[in-house]
């Protein structure tokens, strides 16, 4: 005689739940990729906006920051702004995915680009 465990989800139910979660994850990923993330440095002297796909959408530099004698400072401000905007995009993607998966590391669903 086989023992039966009551209220255990069937294989079909589990597959449907996984498929639903995968659809939700794809939707969340698309939403984040279409979101713009901005960051500034130097007290707003440089502002950068990137997409959730890490594409640079805009760079704004206040004219008073442009000093031909100190190009390194401008480069540092750009780098800081870009890194912060990309970090925001990554953090948002990770938060959305963890919210859907409950923080589980599900094989086959990890290659979502974050």
Cα(29)–Cα(112) distance, integer angstroms: 8
In degrees, to the nearest 5, what angle opens at C-alpha 110 toward C-alphas 108 and 112? 110
Please report where in the chains the tokens 């713009």 appear, as a residue: 36
pLDDT tens digits for range 42-76: 999 999 999 999 999 999 999 988 888 988 989 99
- Give burial (CB, 10 Å; 0-12/13-18/19+) of 97: buried
Q: Which CATH architecture has domain 34-101?
A: 2-Layer Sandwich (3.30)
- The residue ranges of every structural domain in the chain are 34-101
Give me the residues paired with residue 37 across strands: 50
Query: Of 91, 107, 88, which is closest to residue 99 (Cα–Cα)?
Result: 91
Give residue-wise pLDDT tens across range 67-111. 889 889 899 999 999 999 999 999 999 998 888 877 666 555 554
């Amino acid at each position: 005689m086989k023992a039966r465990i009551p209220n255990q989800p069937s294989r079909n139910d589990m597959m449907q739940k996984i498929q639903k979660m995968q659809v939700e994850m794809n939707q969340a990923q698309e939403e984040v990729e279409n979101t713009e993330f901005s960051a500034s440095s130097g007290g707003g002297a440089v502002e950068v906006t990137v997409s959730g796909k890490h594409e640079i959408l805009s760079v704004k530099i206040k004219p008073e920051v442009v000093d031909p004698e100190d190009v390194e400072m401008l480069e540092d401000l750009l780098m800081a702004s870009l890194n912060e905007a990309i970090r925001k995009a990554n953090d948002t993607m990770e938060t959305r995915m963890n919210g859907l998966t409950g923080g589980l590391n599900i094989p086959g669903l990890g290659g979502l680009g974050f």
